[in-house]
Structures are given as C-alpha cells and as structure tokens.
Structure 1
Amino acid sequence: MIRSTLFTRSALGLALALGAAAGTVIAASPAVAKEKAPAVPKIVPSKAFAPLYGPMKTALDNAGKRQDVLDAKTAVATAAAGVNAASGKAARDAARANYDATVKALGDKLAAEKTQLDQLVPAISTPDDKLIYGQLAFGLGKLAEDKPLQRKGLQASVDSGKLVPEQQAQFNFFVGALSYDMRDWAAARAALQNAITAGYKQNDSESLLAEAYINDNQAAEGLKVLETAIAGRTTAAPEEWLRRGVVVAYKAKLADKATTFGSKLVSAYPTTQNWALAIAVLRDTARYPSQETVDLLRLMDRTNSYMEGRDYVEFIQAADPRRAPGEVLKVVNAGLNSGKLSAKDVFVTEAKTIASGRIATDKASLPAAERDARAGSATATVVMAAADAYLSYDNPAKAAELYQLALGKPGVDLPRALTRLGIAQTDLGQIAAAQATFAKVEGPRKAMAQLWSAYAASKVAPAAAPAK
C-alpha cells in the first residue's frame, strides 16, 4: 500500500481497515470492533440476482486462495514497501512505476473475476442486490489492490440505503479516504463531509477533509474546516493539526490565519520548535520595521528559539549597539555561545566592540534619564526612551513604572508602549496584568501581542498533553 501524505498517515490504510472479507455481506471495521455491533438487516437477493451472486461469491473465495494471486499480492506488498523506503525523486519514481506494474499484474490475474462481477450489474433491481454487489465489489477490489473498485463497492453499499446509521457514516468515511488517496478531491470532500455530518469523527476525518481542500488549491476553505474541527474539541487539538495550519496559511499568504494557528500552537504546545515556527512566520509575513522587530525577537530570546545565525543578526541590527548596547551585547554573546555566530564575522566583532564600549556610559546615564522622565514636563518620547533603556538592561520593574507613566502622555505610541509594558509585566511574573495589557494592543503589533500573551500564559500553565 502506497502511503499518502497527511500527517504521515495513509488514508488508504484507514479504508482497508474496513476489513471486509471476500464474500462477507456486512463487516464491522476495527474502529468499532470494541463497540456493540449494530443490528444487521436481513439481506435477501432478488430472484434475478440470486443465481449470479452465488457463483460470484464462490469465484471470489477461490481467487483469494489461488497461489498465483497470493504471489502477486506479495509482490505488490514488496513494491509498496519499496515506495515508502525510496529516497530522492528518481528512486521514488522508479519505485512507484514498479508498484503500478505489480498492481496491474495482480489485476490481470483477476480479470475473469472482474468480468464476472460486471455481469451482476444489469441484474441489480433491489436495495438488497445493490448492497450485496457493493460488498462483492469491495472484496474483489481489496483482493486486486484496485482502489477504484473498492470505492465503487463501498459507494454501492452506501447508495443501497440498507446500512444502519453507524455504518452509513463509517462507509462514507472510507469512500472519502479512498477518494483522497486517488486524488479525487471533490469526491473526497463530499463523502467526508457526509461522514462528519453524520457524526463520524474518528481517524482524523476532519483533518482529512481539510487536506482535501488544501490539496485542491483551496487553502482558505481547508483552514476553515480545520478551525471548526479545533473549536469543536473538548481537549487540545493534535499538535500536527496546528502546525499544519501555520504552514498552510503561511504558504497561502493568509497572514491572519497564520497568526491564529501560531498562537494556538504555542499556547497548547510551547516547545522551542513551535515558538521558532510561530515567530518566524509572523516575522516573514508582517515585515516589521526595527522597533517592532526588536520586540518580536525579544520573544524569540525569552523562548530560546533562535534557529539560525540570521535570527541573532536581525536582533542586533534592529536593536542597534549604539542605542541598546547592553541588550545587543547579551544577544551577541548568546549567538557566539550557541555557535550560530562566528567570532571571525566582521559584523559580529564590530557590534560587540561598539556595544562593549558604550555600556558603562549608557548605564551611568540611567538615573538622569529616569529623573527627566519623571519630570512633569517630560514628553512621551523622553519617558519612552528611559523606559526602553531600563527594559534593555533587564530592569522590568523600573521599565513598567515608566511605561505606565508614558501611557498618560499625549502623542505616545500606544501600541509600542503597551507591548513593552506587557513584556515588562511578563518578566516580573505579573501574568494576568500582562495578558490584559497585551489584549489592548491594536494595529500591526496585535499579532505579536497575541504571541506574547501566549508566552505569558505558558509561564504558569502546563503544556497540553498529547491529543489522543
């Protein structure tokens, strides 16, 4: 069986989990095997259909025991394993061609049985006939590794109207899963939606529906499905759903959706890798100027989610060693210690030299800057400058006081002041106050504030348990 791409899970594998044995009229899948089996209605073939059904069932049973068929199925399984193990486009293409050839060879060995099955179609006259035909078609399709025939059989069973509600929803899911593996996106969406509407939520059916939109170049609709599925859960959504949402939104240039999924991701699963993803996506979609970049990369620093030298370099450039020497020196040293910055890099050495040479004077100016900021005539610019200096020197208590003071000044850059007040409150452990502050941020900084708020919450809340 060839694996399809959906969170490393094969949709076809779920379809085959139906496990209908050749000749079985109704079979429960492993997904419901532990539950009480639904009542099976009595199935009676019509007089015209009955004489054809018996021989077809016998032929199918016998085919499943034939050595040439068993050998061909072993060849298919070996070829499928080769596809999964192949690395590189050329190797994958060759392995897939081999797989297709082995499936065709298996199908050729069952050509007579397929012809015999086709002869049943004109004799179908009742819902019972259609259900029996559907099960025979699925059984032969499974034996032949023939996805279209499997889907045809399952759809006939659904269309018969003879399935109990639980089976109707389940079979619709399997039709959708097979359609997904066949890349028939429209059919996959229709069947999966029918299954979900009927209450079938097992086997990641909702995420599969979302992927059926995404793979058909309908990212916005797919993300909407994913959001609805996440909102309907009583526990945290699976981590891979949230990561997928971030990546799909980013590639589709849906910045708001990328931020939404990013915030949900780090709120539920605040790992270093997830913080790096959420911050990197916001950085690339928002294209912030220097002051906003400083605050976003401060979050990267707090979460220790630097992933490459570029992260440190952008922080150094945005913060500027002449304006915030203490903070820049800390970033430079962190980058050097991580091995992501090189001491031989001229940019790095220059930044470190400038920052080191200015720290003493800059620190000595802090008391005067604070005194000027607290003067009644101080402007918003003066107060913000003092607050920024204290924040850059890891003195959040002083910084928070001054940001509060700046908020009362006319002409203050409100989103910037609120963001940095929230950062200072977070550093102080004042989580509720920080979240309330971040919630007030509007404009381009709002998305950043949402991530900061998630970080504040993560300092007191445990990470979500893996979704089951």
Structure 2
Amino acid sequence: MVRAKFFARTALGLALAMGVAAGGVSAPAMAKEKEKKAEAPKITLSKGFMPAYQATKTALDAAAKRPDVVAGREAATAAENAYRSAQGKAARDAARAKYDAAIAALGTVVAAENQAVENAFTAATTPDDKFVAGQLGLTLGQLSLDKKMQRRGLQSMVDSGKVAAADAAKFNYYIGGLAFDSRDYAGARAAFQAAIAGGYTEGGIDGLLADSYFNDNQVAEGLKVLNAAIAKRGAAAPEDWIRKGIVVSYKAKLAPEAVAFSNKLVEGYPTKENWALAIAVIRDMSQFQNQEQLDLMRLMDRTASWSEARDYFEYIQAADPRRLPAEALKVIDLGIASGKLQASDVSVSDARNIASGRIAADKASLVGLERDARAASGSAATAMAGGDAFLSYGDAAKAEALYQIALSKPGVDAPRVLTRLGIAQTDLGKTAEAQATFAKVTGLRAPIAALWSAYAKSKAAPAQ
C-alpha cells in the first residue's frame, strides 16, 4: 500500500505562476495606441489668458530642444524600462525608487517650465482657456515624463467641455491609465467607469477596471466587474482575464468563485496547462475524501494534465491497489514512465506489487459481480461496485449499464453514481448524455461534475 507522504504543493504554485500575477496589469500608454487625432475644437482665448499661453508655449518649445532636458528624458526612460522589466518585489521596489528619482531630477530641470504651466492654469478662466491650459499641461507632462501632469492636462481638457463625447471617453481611458500607474486606484476607477459609460471599449479597459479594485484590496467588487467583463466578451474573453479571476479568488480563499473561474478557463481554453490549474484549484479548495478525489484524478488522467509526483501518488492512494488494482497499476506505470515516480521508491514498489498480485483474482471475479449486479434482488451497492470494477478496467459500456441499474435501486449514493455514470458516458463518446448526467450531481461533488461536464463538452466540439 502507498504510505502517506507530504509533498510541496508545487503543481498549483506553478500553474498559478502561468497566470496573470495578482499585482495588476500595465496601465495604458498614450504613445502605444494608434489613434486618429481628434478634430480640434474651435477655440477663442480670453485676453487675460493670452499672455500666459504665449509665454508658456514659447518656453515649452525651447525646452524640448535643450540638451539637459534631452539627457534627463533619456535617463528617466531607461529607468522606467528597468522598472518594467524588474522581476521580484525587491528588484521592482529598487527599480521603482530609481525611476522616481530620475523623474524628480527631470522635474528639477524643467522647474521654470513647470511654473509657467502653473501660471497658465491660474490664468485660465473660460472653458476655452482651460482646454488650452490642459494642452499645455499635457505637453509639459509628456516632455518631463510626468504622468501626474499628463493626467492633470487631460483632465482639464475633459472638464472644459470642449472635447467631443467620443474623444472624452478615450481621454478618460488615458486618465484612468495614468491614475493607475500613479497607484491612485480610486481615481483610475472613476476615469475608467466614465470611459466605459462613454462607449470606450479598447485597450482591455474592463480588465483594467477590475484590476483597479484588486490593487485597492476590494477583491469581491473586482471579481464582480471581471466576471461581468468576461460574460460580455463571451468566447472572446481573454485567457489572462480568466486566469486573473482564478489567482485572485484562490489567494482570497473564495472557493466558489475560484471554481467558477476554473470552469470558465477550461471551457474557453482547454489546454493541458489549464486543466492542471483548474483541477489543482478544485482539489486544494475542497474537502474531498478518497472517492471524490478518485474521480477528480480520473479527469487529470483523461486530460493528461499531470504536473508532479503528488498527482500520481494521490491517484494511486484514492484508487487503492487492493480495491482497483488494474487502475492503480496503470497510474503507477504512467508515473514511472513520466519520470515523476521512481520504481525503486519503496512506496511505489510496494503499491505495484500489491496491484500486480491482485489483478488475476480481481478479473476472475468480474463475471460473478456482473451477474449479481444485474439480478433483480441485487442491491444498489452491488450494482455500484460492479460499475466501479468495469470502469476501472476501461469497460465503459458495462459500467454505464450497471450504474443505471444502481440508480434504480433504493439507498443509492446518487451523486457518486451519477458522477461515474457521466464518466462512463464521456468515455463512450456520449457527450450530450454525459453533460445531462453531470448536471444532476449536487453537493460536494458538484465542482467535480462541472469540470467533467466541461471536458465532455470539449470532446463534443468539432476540431479547430
């Protein structure tokens, strides 16, 4: 028999690492999005604002050509690139500090221009003045790589009322991105919501809105937003959005939400890696005993989504070499062939010897077991045991028949039998019947049945 072992739960850790990190998504950058220039509104500046405007524009035009400004911009850009590429919290914190210092140094270089822009904001009294003051602020912000000033400039332009509705939505998207990068998540939410209300749909804005909640420790609200965004996109929902839902739910210990996002992931993107992630999440967030674990691990076998030695050991233990020797032996051999199990390991060799020694007698008992299960006097337990035996030997047709008999008997463990009936139907290619069967499973097994249903559905889908 397999002796109990403790394994580092690396499968889930590795699987989660393949998803989007919980720290957030990069905010949108205006320079990266190719857009048609907005049609310039008709502007008439007030006499009081005109001198401030002319002085500021002249100063900004001259600063753009100055060697000290050019050098400062190059240093700040290099620091930002280093921050974006840094890996690990310590490295990112250190790189962020250098980036902030470079931006501050560049700000010192353009201190006079900054004062000129402040003067322009102060002098602006009419909507037209405020629109142009915003343009000046945006120009300075882009020159000095000052995202707060860029945001202030864009906000002034939007608040002036001189920006067309469609362009205002786009500007709000940029404002939200700049607020996000400045870690003002409340401001980012307000801007993203205004952009969405204005009809803006580009740049993954719904996902960024969800991230503005996650990064502000408002997990439940963020998950609602993310779930709605995924539902709105349907089959086109980005894979990384769904993975983000899993990661955030898992870390917040929200099992129902983690299970729901896991189902969405394998329904939309049924890769081996995603099956491994979905199965690992459900396994780690549920209180399964051996019988439930067995049916979940059977799904791992069908999807070939093994990740580590733990997967094989838990399957072997759930199957039990003394009870389902053929199935246990198959898993042991798969584990050895994969290199995850070592034949010389005492736990492995003991389990293999027990399973090998039991198979002949176990096979010989199948005829009598089927006869007793089909007898009118047979109990639900006998019919279920017969179905279990034939399912473990890969005879899905006989397993299906005996599970149907078990369901007609009093005292049947309906969730368990329905799960395995659905598995047998899936193995037989009866994917529609299997999905209907899995839909009847309730209680602790419901998440397992939901994943199996997603697998059955994927088997029915035409090849791409």
Q: Does 1:14 align with 2:24?
A: no
d(CA) in 1 for partners of 2:150, 2:39: 24
CA displacement, residues 278-302 of structure 1 (integer Å, 9 cap, x when unaligned): 0000001112111000000000010
Q: Give the partner amino acid of 2:114.
A: K
CA displacement, residues 84-123 of structure 1 (integer Å, 9 cap, x when unaligned): 4444555444433322222111111000011111112332
| Residues 199/6 of structure 1: CA separation in 2 closer, same or farther (3 Å cut) | farther
Q: In structure 2, what is the equivalent of residue 349 of structure 1?
A: 349
Q: How does 1:42-53 map to 2 (within 5 A)?
A: 42-53=42-53
CA displacement, residues 387-413 of structure 1 (integer Å, 9 cap, x when unaligned): 000001100000000011111111111
RMSD between aligned alpha carbons?
1.8
Q: Give the partner amino acid of 2:190.
A: A
Q: Give the partner amino acid of 2:35.
A: V
| Residues 8/226 of structure 1: CA separation in 2 closer, same or farther (3 Å cut) | closer
Q: How does 1:12-161 map to 2 (within 5 A)?
A: 13-17=28-32, 30-33=33-36, 39-87=39-87, 89-161=89-161
Q: Using structure 1 for the length normalisation, give the TM-score.
A: 0.91
| Residues 218/402 of structure 1: CA separation in 2 closer, same or farther (3 Å cut) | same
Could you list the runs of 5+ residues in structure 1 that have no partner in the other structure? 18-29
CA displacement, residues 62-92 of structure 1 (integer Å, 9 cap, x when unaligned): 1111111001111112222333444455544
CA displacement, residues 225-253 of structure 1 (integer Å, 9 cap, x when unaligned): 11111111254211111111111111111
CA displacement, residues 280-338 of structure 1 (integer Å, 9 cap, x when unaligned): 00001112111000000000010000100001111111111111101000011001100
Q: Give the partner amino acid of 1:10.
A: S
Q: Give the partner amino acid of 2:451.
A: L
Could you list the runs of 5+ residues in structure 2 that have no partner in the other structure? 1-19
Q: Give the partner amino acid of 1:436.
A: A
d(CA) in 1 for partners of 2:216, 2:384: 49
Q: Using structure 2 for the length normalisation, give the TM-score.
A: 0.92
Q: In structure 2, what is the equivalent of residue 26 of structure 1?
A: none
CA displacement, residues 1-39 of structure 1 (integer Å, 9 cap, x when unaligned): xxx97898531x52444xxxxxxxxxxxx4432xxx654
Q: CA deviation at 1:221?
A: 1.0
Q: In structure 1, what is the equivalent of residue 252 of structure 2?
A: 252
| Residues 213/93 of structure 1: CA separation in 2 closer, same or farther (3 Å cut) | closer
Aligned residues: 445
CA displacement, residues 418-466 of structure 1 (integer Å, 9 cap, x when unaligned): 11000000000011111111111111111111110111111132588xx
Q: Give the partner amino acid of 1:390.
A: F
Q: In structure 2, what is the equivalent of residue 23 of structure 1?
A: none
| Residues 265/91 of structure 1: CA separation in 2 closer, same or farther (3 Å cut) | closer
Q: In structure 1, what is the equivalent of residue 216 of structure 2?
A: 216
Q: How does 1:279-294 map to 2 (within 5 A)?
A: 279-294=279-294
Q: How does 1:323-342 map to 2 (within 5 A)?
A: 323-342=323-342
d(CA) in 1 for partners of 2:21, 2:211: 9
Q: Give the partner amino acid of 1:137.
A: G
Q: Give the partner amino acid of 2:216.
A: D
The answer as to whether partners of 1:176 and 1:187 remain within 8 angstroms in 2 is: yes
Q: Give the partner amino acid of 1:249.
A: S
Tell me the percent identity. 57
The answer as to whether partners of 1:441 and 1:449 remain within 8 angstroms in 2 is: yes
Of 193-202 and 90-99, deviating more is 90-99
SS, match of residue 119 in structure 1 = helix
The answer as to whether partners of 1:7 and 1:240 remain within 8 angstroms in 2 is: no
CA displacement, residues 257-297 of structure 1 (integer Å, 9 cap, x when unaligned): 11111111111111000000000000011121110000000
Q: In structure 1, what is the equivalent of residue 240 of structure 2?
A: 240
| Residues 434/87 of structure 1: CA separation in 2 closer, same or farther (3 Å cut) | closer
The answer as to whether partners of 1:16 and 1:142 remain within 8 angstroms in 2 is: no
Q: CA deviation at 1:179?
A: 0.9
The answer as to whether partners of 2:137 and 2:153 remain within 8 angstroms in 1 is: yes
| Residues 327/5 of structure 1: CA separation in 2 closer, same or farther (3 Å cut) | closer
Q: CA deviation at 1:41?
A: 2.2
Q: In structure 2, what is the equivalent of residue 427 of structure 1?
A: 427
SS, match of residue 120 in structure 1 = helix
Q: In structure 2, what is the equivalent of residue 27 of structure 1?
A: none
d(CA) in 2 for partners of 1:204, 1:92: 24
Q: In structure 2, what is the equivalent of residue 299 of structure 1?
A: 299
Higher RCO structure (Cα 8 Å, ≥6 apart):
2
Q: Does 1:368 align with 2:368?
A: yes
d(CA) in 2 for partners of 1:88, 1:247: 17
The answer as to whether partners of 2:140 and 2:150 remain within 8 angstroms in 1 is: yes
Q: CA deviation at 1:161?
A: 1.1
The answer as to whether partners of 2:22 and 2:248 remain within 8 angstroms in 1 is: no
Q: How does 1:168-207 map to 2 (within 5 A)?
A: 168-207=168-207
Q: Give the partner amino acid of 1:46.
A: S
The answer as to whether partners of 1:14 and 1:203 remain within 8 angstroms in 2 is: no
The answer as to whether partners of 1:15 and 1:177 remain within 8 angstroms in 2 is: no
d(CA) in 1 for partners of 2:240, 2:87: 23
d(CA) in 1 for partners of 2:111, 2:309: 61
The answer as to whether partners of 1:325 and 1:359 remain within 8 angstroms in 2 is: yes
The answer as to whether partners of 1:269 and 1:463 remain within 8 angstroms in 2 is: no
Q: Give the partner amino acid of 2:26.
A: S
